[in-house]
Amino acid sequence: MPLSQVIKRHADHPRRLAWISSAAGVAFFLLFSTITLFVIHHKRAQQHDRLANASKAYMQGIFNNLEKSLLPLLSYTRSDCQNVGNELTSRAAFTNGVRAILLVRDGNAWCSSAIGPFWLPVRNIAPALTLTLRRNVTLVAGTPMLPHQPAMLLWLQHPQRPNEGILTTLDINMTPLLLLAADQESVDEIAIAVGDNVLLTWNNQLISRTALHNAPLRQFTLPEYSLTFYMYGKALSARDISIVLLTGLLLAVVVASFCWLLFSLRLRPGKEILAGIKHNEFHVVYQPLIEATSGRVYGLEALLRWTHPVTGPIPPDAFISYAESQDMIVPLTRHLFKLVAQDAQLLCQHLPRGAVMGLNIAPGHLAAESFRQDVEEWIAAMPPEHFNYAFEITERTMVSGQSAAAVFDWLHDRHIAIAIDDFGTGHSALIYLEKFCFDYLKIDRGFVQSIGMETVTSPVLDAVLNLARKLNLNTVAEGVETEEQAAWLIKRGVTYMQGYLFSRPLPPTQLISFLQQQQASQP
């Protein structure tokens, strides 16, 4: 497998990435809009409460002032209109909101602050007004002086005499309330209702109570005057909603782009390997190398394993070539060195001095500047003078002739043996055998598996073994799975063998059990 489908799935899925990012954007949009609208709704409700309270206090204040100013006039209900006319006129002029003050006797208005003596039954001016009450308020579409201008009438009864008192026509000045309400976009109408009549303050229009919108935002009553105050509008204005949705949409685009960037960076090729190293997802298994003649374990081959947290084990063929293609093989091999050095502290207690520790070294690392230092640091971290070392390299490594020779010499100077891995799978292996000095020749398991099958490869294997003997090279047969293969190889003089027949690659603790069993069964 060239590159693990697992990694591919993670790294090469822009569509999946786009989906995740879009989902994050949509989730953000929904969350942001819901929370922001909820907060605005809550704030608006508080503002509406404040407005309702302020309005109630304002209305109450207006009526208190009116009564304070008008009640003294009750003593004039039996006076001569000529005598009190001036007093009425100046009181009307200096009392805020008053249009006219009328004196009433026996249910008839007989003296006006505006026109002086006149005569008109109160029921003609305000049919709904109840003169037997201490105070009463009503709304009218117009007054005799201003027939098309709605007004509020306030009746104040003489304490001792029914049907006698003061009737005041008021211009309902709601300007302060309207200004207050206008400051809040969500309030679009204020209404004052008395009996069946309702005054819409925004356009100063009198309508019937049945024509009123159904549910007000807030309402309050001044019980002494049977007056109800309504505030209409929406808890959330269309402007609020459109601003929140637009902002949410813009921010969602930013969030989605950020997610996309973050995921693309996180899943950048090679990053997975570094993350795997950081999160300790790699471990090493060891496969025993068996001496052909004695059947004893003479060494181990360390093989790296990667258990991905999401997708489980990833085949080494796949992640090694992936790491090579992403320039990650150097950090990965350094990590291998570190893991082997850790395991070796335990393994050395169960393996004889001189046991071979074989590591696979990728060509990319061999050619790296840091290679020599990495190796020296590794040797320094290994148990001192216990293991012999062998580096397994493939024929690919030898292509860059000169530099490879120098590295091989350097390794030999440090008593590190060199094994050609997968021998026979490359094209010009024989040329390299002449050119370089190797210590082991590892015969690819493809040859071993052909043993006893009468295929064209068996004579080649024969020839390879002969050649190795002539060149004084140790041979290691890989992938020995059957007794028949082992017997054939021993007969042909193979030096070492490795394969499932003896043991699979094992983690340190299982390997130690295997070694203990082996020792117990040896004569």
HSE at residue 195, side-chain half, CA atoms within 13 A, is 14
Q: How far apart are CA 380 and CA 53, in angstroms?
A: 83
| Interface with ligand C2E (CB under 6 A), residue from 316, 331, 383, 446 | 316
Q: Quick one: tokens of 265?
A: 């960076």
- Of the pair 244, 320, the CB lying nearest ligand C2E is at 320
Question: What character string, x for contact with Ca ion (CB under 5 A) and - otherwise, covers 336-375?
Answer: ------------------------x---------------
HSE at residue 346, side-chain half, CA atoms within 13 A, is 13
| Interface with ligand C2E (CB under 6 A), residue from 164, 240, 395, 422 | 422
Is 395 an interacting residue with respect to Ca ion (CB under 5 A)? no
Please give the sequence-ordered ranges of beta strands (E in DSSP) within 243-387, or none if there are none: 282-291, 297-308, 312-314, 356-360
Q: How far apart are CA 406 and CA 48, in angstroms?
A: 87
Partner in contact with 164, chosen from ligand C2E, Ca ion, none, beta carbon below 5 to 8 Å by kind: none
| Axis crossing angle, helix 238-266 with helix 14-70, rounded to the nearest 10 | 150
Question: To the nearest whole angstrom, how small is the minimum distance from the Cβ of residue 519 to Ca ion?
Answer: 25
Helices (H), 382-441: 401-413, 429-435
Q: How far apart are CA 209 and CA 229, in angstroms?
A: 12
Residues in contact with 430: Cβ distance below 8 Å, sequence separation at least 6, in sequence order: 467
| Interface with ligand C2E (CB under 6 A), residue from 133, 303, 379, 467 | 303
**Collapsing DSSP states into helix, strand and coil, what is residue 497?**
strand
| Axis crossing angle, helix 14-70 with helix 81-94, rounded to the nearest 10 | 150
- Of the pair 343, 478, the CB lying nearest Ca ion is at 478
Question: What character string, x for contact with ligand C2E (CB under 6 A) and - otherwise, covers 159-198?
Answer: ----------------------------------------
- With contacts defined by CB under 5 A, name the span among 11-19, 121-129, 310-318, 422-430 that binds Ca ion: 422-430
Is 240 an interacting residue with respect to Ca ion (CB under 5 A)? no
Partner in contact with 439, chosen from ligand C2E, Ca ion, none, beta carbon below 5 to 8 Å by kind: none
- Three-state SS for 189-222 is EEEEEECCEEEECCCCEEEEHHHCCCCCCEEEEE
- Of the pair 172, 303, the CB lying nearest ligand C2E is at 303
| Interface with ligand C2E (CB under 6 A), residue from 29, 66, 499, 511 | 499
Question: What character string, x for contact with Ca ion (CB under 5 A) and - otherwise, covers 373-392?
Answer: -------------------x
The amino acid that residue 27 corresponds to is A
| Interface with ligand C2E (CB under 6 A), residue from 443, 445, 497, 514 | 445
Is 240 an interacting residue with respect to ligand C2E (CB under 6 A)? no
Question: To the nearest whole angstrom, how small is the minimum distance from the Cβ of residue 476 to Ca ion?
Answer: 9
Question: To the nearest whole angstrom, how small is the minimum distance from the Cβ of residue 392 to Ca ion?
Answer: 4
| Nearest CA among 152, 206, 201 for reference residue 176 | 201
| Interface with Ca ion (CB under 5 A), residue from 421, 480, 486, 505 | 421
Q: Give the footprint of Ca ion on this chain (CB under 5 A).
A: 360, 392, 421-422, 478
